[in-house]
A and B are shown apart, each in its own frame.
Chain A
């Protein structure tokens, strides 16, 4: 699994980027990278999202950003539903797809990956870096890959129509780490030149344990399951994040913090992190989530078949529970939330979700994980 000679890694030159996923995050990242002088291509499985980004007789396709914080129209070099058409030649791949698509994209993209490619997960969920690497290797890719995880998306927004994203906020202080961990500092100047919000941290174990989506989304969704399932609209956080609901979120966050301590990794609470990236000074999670301005626009999903469960359980809570078991940290809030969500959705996320086993790390204990994934800060 350990791919390379750790000492020989030189900072890559990044001229071409391929963004996988034409949702709001993909569109915003694409626009931003174009403005940094990169040639950017986009891929999405949904042809309707790709269509407005494709060039026509009238000129190149354009991605349109509105919302006030980074408005503009930026030319896209190529857009396609086929990875084979946009991945080859990319120095940087931006993964802006649901976490559970990671392994699938890795297998499909493997034949087209450029040697030395940097694969950037925004966000990395829990161990998307290692999942991608493992799947690409299994699919036969033998070249160099440096997967990079962030703890969160850099942009917050929504797609108003295909090719048009409304971006409400650009977050500051987004932690990132590479695998192997030594590459993080080598990549930092290159990536920060493109995305100044990025801040290097110790390892992908650290970014993976800072999977805040997994902490927040399933709990808030579960405790609002009735109105979501009955299609009763409400503001997901401003109305859905009541004190009782946030007590469960906080319990899950405490379990996550205990895991970080058990791994010997510096930890930061959800509240502290939230205040930092949104530039708030909220005294509690309830206050933070119910008054955060960008959340005024975030509506609850209208079905329980939502990424907030279907992505954040199998690529977040499930691998987090696996990691917790390896360090002997009890996580009843995570397990209780998972158990009830399993029942409501009539599935068993642990049976098909991401575990250390499925990403080729099943043999590792606490020290093995620390040793492979990298040093702490």
Chain B
């Protein structure tokens, strides 16, 4: 298959290498040019860990016209907060029949991109797809060099509209065995597990992060009290899922299944989660953990809660406090049902919309 990858950060590079190894013709693009130059200079991407060696790509370009046309699938590996912006620049190049894959989609990635394209008058007939979280645990080790420490398993992948089925994204299940077919993208959107964790841990450690203190983000930043607040946000997410007939993955299940972390409660599980051993706290507050996870996670949860009649006091309070701290309104420009033109829908309407894509 011909596959376009938009976003050549560590995840985009690891993904490109992995799919190229599976025999696909991979074309990679990045908005800023340095990453592309590095790949061109090296003649590919040097991978280590779960993948090894130098992997050549069909195309590495700063020009979307060289990567999107003719591709059967377009995969976005950019921060969720850039989904809409990248979609805007991609719009003129998109073609009928392409799969438009958000890796990961955070909350409402597919619906938000559909809304952007409708607004631009883009008529390309796309099948949208959300991957629940990043499929590869990876980090950059140098120019066009990436270490992929693990290929994750059992992650949900959803298609929008769901009635189209998985034909267009079947290659994902071949490249990532064990991934699960979600009933729709409401499932992958509600399974955004960054949102209940990141803004809470940063909030409870606000002063030390702002001071630039060195500490292990999870192992030293999460405490029993902080974990209670994480659980409260998680419970709101779960309650929303029940109203939508979605079997939401709880954080407890996630730590059990994906990380095989032991322990009785969430706090213990997070402390026993080995991949957290070397995750250092950010040194400033304007981090993706807030700038991405509020507008594409907590804010959409709260919006969804209102639509389906589930109170979200923990999400609401988080938004209020983060608004004050950042002196801005995180609801502005965020993925709310209002901003995506869906505020007339109730739970049943949202389910129908996820199935048909008809507004």
* Residues in chain A within 8 A of chain B (CB atoms): 220, 222-230, 232, 234, 239-245, 247-248, 251, 304, 332-333, 335-337, 339-340, 343-346
Contacts and interface: CB of A to CB of B under 8 A. Distances in A.
Given A230-B220, A339-B314, A343-B229, A251 B206 contact: no
B223 A229 contact: yes
* Secondary structure call for the A interface: helix
B204 interface: yes
B314 A343 contact: yes
B167 interface: no
A229 B224 contact: yes
Contact of A336 (B204, B211, B222, B317): B317
B251 interface: no
Contact of A239 (B211, B221, B223, B327): B211
Nearest to B206: A223
Given A224-B206, A234-B208, A332-B320, A244 B325 contact: yes
Contacts of A346: 228
A4 B201 CA distance: 53
B317 A242 contact: no
B207 A242 contact: yes
Given A332-B320, A333-B320, A339-B317, A245 B225 contact: no
A286 to B, nearest CB: 10
Nearest to A232: B220
B125 interface: no
Contacts of A335: 317, 320
A344 B317 contact: no
A247 B325 contact: yes
Interface of B: 201, 203-208, 210-211, 220-226, 228-229, 232, 285, 313-314, 316-318, 320-321, 324-325, 327
Given A240-B207, A336-B317, A226 B221 contact: yes
Nearest to A223: B206
Contacts of B206: 223-224, 242, 244-245
Contacts of B318: 336, 340
Nearest to A334: B320
Contact of B225 (A234, A337, A345): A345
A92 B117 CA distance: 74
13 contacts: A223-B207, A224-B204, A224-B206, A225-B223, A225-B226, A226-B201, A226-B221, A229-B223, A229-B226, A234-B207, A245-B206, A333-B324, A344-B204
A240 B317 CA distance: 21
